[in-house]
Structure 1
Amino acid sequence: MTKRLTAAALAATLGLFALSPSPVRADEPYWQCVTFARMFSGINIFGDAWTWWNQAVDRFRTGRAPETGSVLVFRPEGRMSRGHVAVVSEILTDRVIRVTHANWGGSRGRVEENVTVVDVSGQNDWSAVKVWYNPINDLGTTVYPTYGFIYNSAREGMEAGRQMARAATGGSGQP
């Protein structure tokens, strides 16, 4: 409970420094979250945000702990029927991160940088989060379920690296 309160207090403090979105200009691009996340993270997955998790399982490392550059995949729920993806830009504590994402809340079609996200799951596994919401200058009241994080290194590359390491060490793991 203390960890949750500390995380919430830290998030509230950090949120004060979040960049507020500027008015939308007609000559600026309209960003979708998936297009932005794909370009910003280098994770080459296509389709609605909620499909990213299943697509990633055989192609990329996935997990429940944030890494800078990884993509947090939100489950579809309520008005967010197609899910959402956001790129981790900074890890502040084990329960507080910052993300850069597009097309969220009061910033339709815009990119928001370094938005505070807090893990509010009971198991400290990032399965439920709250996101900073600029219009109220606080964490939003909605708890969003997530699948977890997709890391920007391919499974094949990791496995190839492991095999090379085993070959170089004669399979012992020691040089």
Structure 2
Amino acid sequence: MTKRIKTALVAASLGFFAVSVTPAAARADDPYWQCVTFARMFSGINIFGDAWTWWRQAADKFRTGKAPETGSVLVFRPEGRMSRGHVAVVSDVLTDRVVRVTHANWGGSRGKVEENVTVVDVSTSNDWSQVKVWYKPSNDLGSTVYPTYGFIYKGDRDAFGGSRQMAENTLGAGQP
């Protein structure tokens, strides 16, 4: 319980430092960023298609896992209004349960890039399967809990000696 309180306090104090990359007043000629286009360019993880498909596509090409690393991509599962999922690049790992992400086209920042947004692991198993995301308008963590698949790490799966079987053993067989 103390660890959860500490994590919440860290998230609350760090959320104040989340800044938007784009100015408040958008111009007509500003680019409109989709999360997948931005994540691919910012992370160097060359996956295409809707965000929810990234996890499956990464299985044979990249390392995947349940622990955040700077530069990895957090893949959100499709749910509710987020029917195509979402991807966000980890810009900083603050604790084992709190990271900052840089992402595009999220919530009130449609088509815009947000930098260093606090994301907190609220899963009971400490496995990043459920997260809350800092919500700038309320200056607090949002009330919505978002399901995630996990993290995709930059670099070929084979470059790290990983195999499909090793990944299944680590992450659990039959996972999408």
TM-score of the superposition, structure 1-length normalised? 0.89
Give the counterpart of 2:38 among 18, 36, 39.
36
The within-5 A match list for 1:1-175 is 1-20=1-20, 22-159=24-161
Cα distance in 2 between the residues matched to 1:119 and 1:29? 31
Q: What RMSD over aligned residues (CA atoms) do the two structures have, in Å?
A: 1.2
Contact 2:17 2:116 in 1 (8 A): no
1:157 CA displacement? 2.2
Cα distance in 2 between the residues matched to 1:155 and 1:16? 36
Contact 2:35 2:103 in 1 (8 A): yes
Cα distance in 2 between the residues matched to 1:152 and 1:69? 7
User: Aligned with 2:161: secondary structure?
Assistant: helix
Cα distance in 1 between the residues matched to 2:2 and 2:80? 30
1:156 CA displacement? 2.5
Cα distance in 2 between the residues matched to 1:23 and 1:143? 29
Identity of aligned residues (%): 78
Specify the structure having the higher radius of gyration (Cα): 1
Cα distance in 2 between the residues matched to 1:129 and 1:94? 13
Q: Which runs of 5+ in 2 are unaligned?
A: 163-176
Give 4+ residue runs of structure 1 displaced > 2 Å after superposition. 156-160
Cα distance in 2 between the residues matched to 1:159 and 1:96? 28
1:75 CA displacement? 0.2
Cα distance in 2 between the residues matched to 1:106 and 1:92? 24
Count residues in correspondence.
Answer: 160
Cα distance in 2 between the residues matched to 1:36 and 1:63? 21
Q: Which runs of 5+ in 1 are unaligned?
A: 161-175
1:155 CA displacement? 0.9
Cα distance in 1 between the residues matched to 2:37 and 2:126? 29
Deviations 1:46-65 (A, max 9, x none): 00000000000111000000
Cα distance in 2 between the residues matched to 1:106 and 1:62? 29
